[in-house]
Chains A and B, each alone.
Chain A
């Protein structure tokens, strides 16, 4: 199957610089059973450039990168590295050909030091001593050259995510990578960490490295890349010079139609408070106080946004409110009923009282990946009478309802039998959202509603949240995306180090919120 039709390129792959490209893919195909994940992909990435690959979840970006890094073997097509046709049967071969990859989920050993992580798999000999000394020198050189200072003896697990990612990059460079693939690198980063990452990427480019940046965030593409390719449904639909394109054009190319990036937020009459939290303190497993004396209320028909850099107590707040963990102290008033959060903690009970919860991490919490769609559609509600016949589950009723929701929420593919793991991110989120909204709650807790979700689905999810608001529900929205918080919320509170450090209206500027998120309280300063 090495016969490739070169005529059908439509000039798509010609944007790169005229010298020999670092990477050239010609007619690459990859299928998983009936799913054609990559269709005749042509791609040219110029040497010493930052090339973005953008596309919705499930567009085939990760598959393509996995082919480049040797995780998958292409069914057909040619891969050229530095102009020479080659094969990449496994990641070892990818590394030896100068390709390094920084995964979305880091591949680091937490209890090891930075140095130990960097030499892992490249120890150089049976005794560690020489390897370690070498690595220390090399690490120092890399750090100087690329402006990536890091303490080689720091324990990785104790570093913030931004630095952990830096370790991943150093690992790749230590192995001699000339081509660096970064898969959704900013998903876990704060805005300032992301900026720093982009600075590093620019330095790398200026030193002659080639960077491939996989993302679904348009702003990042515009900020940092030189050239960009757009994927849609397994096909490479366009390549552009970043300077010659716009967010709107790229969004349209990704989705295949024009997208409304603004949310329509009609006036809604605000009612009585449905959720009232007072004096909430939460400790994590290690006994660290993560939420400090937080109080707020959310009224009917209101969206309260909680802004903040991730890791400032938002997750613990959601866990305590939804009954997953026990709070240290604090009370909650839910639709008029007062609950002691330090006493009861029962997620089933909270649901029963009319509070539903879309968790921040759908893979870890919101879904059971091995369960089929219809089984996931009742998670947390499986004891509801409408789903059961005595002690048995009424599978016909469950499937019937799951089918209705699939239709209503346009979940694709429209099947109740496929396991959750096989749905794309956006559709997984829709499964969770359908479950938590269709039970008609009074209060909706929703964490990172659009993390790892494609543009089409983002628009849909935002509209559903606005529907809840219009129906007079109280919505508590936690998100690290400031745009999202600002466009959806009626009021915004900002969390920093477990405290609520300020409250603003929806008209708050990004700078204002940004300062609050960084722990600088302007009002106090004035």
Chain B
């Protein structure tokens, strides 16, 4: 093993764990500063997320969102592209899903609508990613800038559509009408009646997310396209040498990425809300960046990281409820700390761990 290389379990297990522990220690200090008991806070946080059926349901519901957006960011990452636009792509994807549901829900059962909704979400999300992808591939406009801008455009566009076009006659709230049964995904509480999911909105989209994880895993590591995506991401010069077109890969990868983000609406629009409403993505597109980073771009890692953030979302809400001095904003601080340590400060512990393992491995070699 050469210098700087770590065993896989360290890279994918120990380092994220260290980052997480650091984030929690700092969060704990913040809790101490505002005069609360951090252990009490952790207790409520974990209990709120995992302690009872409804909590678990909510955790899984949030995790589903983050799996979709995390996969979206990760796929683009494999091609060396930083897709910051998951939020906007998910938002516009929701429009595609809503249109499919609105068109079909009165005529056919949900399981016939489902594939159309998936296609609609993926198509609209992909379309929203296409323009930045095209601009990057053909014009060299940096994709980070354009995807951020497209988040704002998506937001404005949806406000216009929801408050002027999609809004049902005679209502005041900017959202579509509620979908009929043909546009509603079954909730797990109605499917698995033996488990008490309470009133939680976790629905079949969770299984769709897991299935998409398998698809992404196959795509990236087992298909020719995935090979080309990774080649381009790791070494664009070698990819050009191999005859892999950078324009083609940039655009295809971003289409896939946008499509994955677009699927998030299946969970919220078709699963929970059963209507399209303003700002339903709620920042999940941005959390997806942290999830993809923390999950090291691998579907298994992304599932675990998404679960963690789901836990923070749900447990955080519970915590704010149980300990009122820890407000909603405090929860956001804790989440931000996790993102900070797992994402931005990802390499903080790495040198020390590398040094430790270098020493460790050379000792064993001599023995």
Q: Do B240 and A33 have beta carbons less than 8 Å apart?
A: no
| Chain B: CB-nearest residue to A371 | B234
Min CB–CB distance B223 → chain A (angstroms): 5
Contact of A392 among B1, B3, B224, B234 (CB under 8 A): B224
A400 within 8 A of B: no
Q: For A349, what are the chain B residues with a Cβ–Cβ distance below 8 Å?
A: 243
Q: Do B2 and A347 have beta carbons less than 8 Å apart?
A: no
Q: Do B366 and A31 have beta carbons less than 8 Å apart?
A: yes
Min CB–CB distance A415 → chain B (angstroms): 13
| Given A347-B243, A392-B224, CB of A34 within 8 Å of CB of B238 | no
A1 within 8 A of B: yes
Q: For A367, what are the chain B residues with a Cβ–Cβ distance below 8 Å?
A: 238
Contact with A along B249-264 (1 / 0, CB 8 A): 0000000000000000
Q: Do A368 and B2 have beta carbons less than 8 Å apart?
A: no
B279 within 8 A of A: no
B348 within 8 A of A: no
A72 within 8 A of B: yes
Q: For A350, what are the chain B residues with a Cβ–Cβ distance below 8 Å?
A: 243
Min CB–CB distance A36 → chain B (angstroms): 7
Q: Do A393 and B223 have beta carbons less than 8 Å apart?
A: yes
Q: Do A32 and B238 have beta carbons less than 8 Å apart?
A: no
Within 46-100 of B, Cβ neighbours of A (below 8 Å) are at none
A128 within 8 A of B: no
Stretch at the interface among A156-164, A212-220, A380-388: A380-388
Within 306-364 of A, Cβ neighbours of B (below 8 Å) are at 322-324, 346-351, 357, 359, 364
CA A378 – CA B238 in complex, angstroms? 12
A171 within 8 A of B: no
Q: Do A375 and B227 have beta carbons less than 8 Å apart?
A: yes
CA A391 – CA B241 in complex, angstroms? 22
Q: Do B365 and A422 have beta carbons less than 8 Å apart?
A: no
Interface bin, chain B: 20 to 34
| Given A347-B241, A375-B227, CB of A422 within 8 Å of CB of B2 | yes
| Chain B: CB-nearest residue to A422 | B2
A365 within 8 A of B: yes
A143 within 8 A of B: no
CA A378 – CA B227 in complex, angstroms? 10
A425 within 8 A of B: no
Q: Do B238 and A382 have beta carbons less than 8 Å apart?
A: no
Q: Do B243 and A32 have beta carbons less than 8 Å apart?
A: no
A417 within 8 A of B: no
Q: For A395, what are the chain B residues with a Cβ–Cβ distance below 8 Å?
A: 222
List the count of A-B residue pairs having beta carbons below 8 Å apart. 97
Q: Do A33 and B238 have beta carbons less than 8 Å apart?
A: no
Q: For A192, what are the chain B residues with a Cβ–Cβ distance below 8 Å?
A: none
Contact with B along A421-440 (1 / 0, CB 8 A): 11000000000000000000
Q: Do B365 and A31 have beta carbons less than 8 Å apart?
A: yes
Contact of B242 among A348, A370, A393, A422 (CB under 8 A): A348
A379 within 8 A of B: yes
| Chain A: CB-nearest residue to B244 | A348
| Given A32-B3, A391-B224, CB of A365 within 8 Å of CB of B241 | yes
Q: Do B361 and A382 have beta carbons less than 8 Å apart?
A: no
A127 within 8 A of B: no
Contact with A along B1-45 (1 / 0, CB 8 A): 111000000000000000000000000000000000000000000
Contact with B along A24-61 (1 / 0, CB 8 A): 00000111111110000000000000000000000000
B330 within 8 A of A: no
Contact of B362 among A32, A369, A371, A380 (CB under 8 A): A32
CA A336 – CA B227 in complex, angstroms? 33
Q: Do B241 and A359 have beta carbons less than 8 Å apart?
A: yes
Within 188-241 of B, Cβ neighbours of A (below 8 Å) are at 218, 222-225, 227-228, 230-231, 234-235, 237-238, 240-241
A75 within 8 A of B: yes
| Chain B: CB-nearest residue to A72 | B3
Q: Do A368 and B238 have beta carbons less than 8 Å apart?
A: yes
CA A229 – CA B351 in complex, angstroms? 34
A366 within 8 A of B: yes
Contact with B along A220-236 (1 / 0, CB 8 A): 00000000000000000
Min CB–CB distance A428 → chain B (angstroms): 12
| Chain A: CB-nearest residue to B219 | A391
Q: For A1, what are the chain B residues with a Cβ–Cβ distance below 8 Å?
A: 366
Min CB–CB distance B252 → chain A (angstroms): 13
Q: Do A75 and B366 have beta carbons less than 8 Å apart?
A: yes
Q: Do B225 and A368 have beta carbons less than 8 Å apart?
A: no
| Chain A: CB-nearest residue to B227 | A382
Q: Do A323 and B243 have beta carbons less than 8 Å apart?
A: yes
CA A24 – CA B137 in complex, angstroms? 55
Contact of A393 among B1, B222, B231, B358 (CB under 8 A): B222
CA A57 – CA B166 in complex, angstroms? 68
| Given A33-B361, A368-B231, CB of A348 within 8 Å of CB of B223 | no
Q: Do B223 and A75 have beta carbons less than 8 Å apart?
A: no
| Given A75-B366, A371-B234, A422-B2, CB of A393 within 8 Å of CB of B224 | yes
Q: For B235, what are the chain A residues with a Cβ–Cβ distance below 8 Å?
A: 364-365, 368-370
Q: Do A36 and B365 have beta carbons less than 8 Å apart?
A: yes
Min CB–CB distance B230 → chain A (angstroms): 8
Q: Do A365 and B237 have beta carbons less than 8 Å apart?
A: yes
Q: For A323, what are the chain B residues with a Cβ–Cβ distance below 8 Å?
A: 243
Q: For B222, what are the chain A residues with a Cβ–Cβ distance below 8 Å?
A: 392-393, 395
- Nearest 8 A/B pairs, CB to CB: A348-B243, A33-B1, A347-B243, A380-B242, A31-B365, A365-B241, A31-B362, A33-B361
26 contacts between A and B (CB under 8 A): A31-B361, A32-B361, A35-B1, A35-B2, A35-B365, A72-B3, A347-B242, A359-B241, A364-B237, A365-B237, A365-B238, A367-B238, A368-B234, A369-B234, A369-B235, A370-B234, A379-B242, A380-B241, A380-B242, A382-B228, A388-B224, A391-B223, A391-B224, A392-B222, A395-B222, A422-B2
Chain A positions within 8 Å of B, measured between CB atoms, are 1, 29-36, 72, 75, 322-324, 346-351, 357, 359, 364-371, 375, 378-380, 382-383, 388, 391-393, 395, 421-422
Q: Given A31-B366, A364-B237, A378-B227, 11 other A-B contacts at CB below 8 A?
A: A1-B366, A31-B361, A33-B362, A364-B238, A366-B241, A371-B231, A391-B223, A391-B224, A392-B224, A393-B222, A421-B2
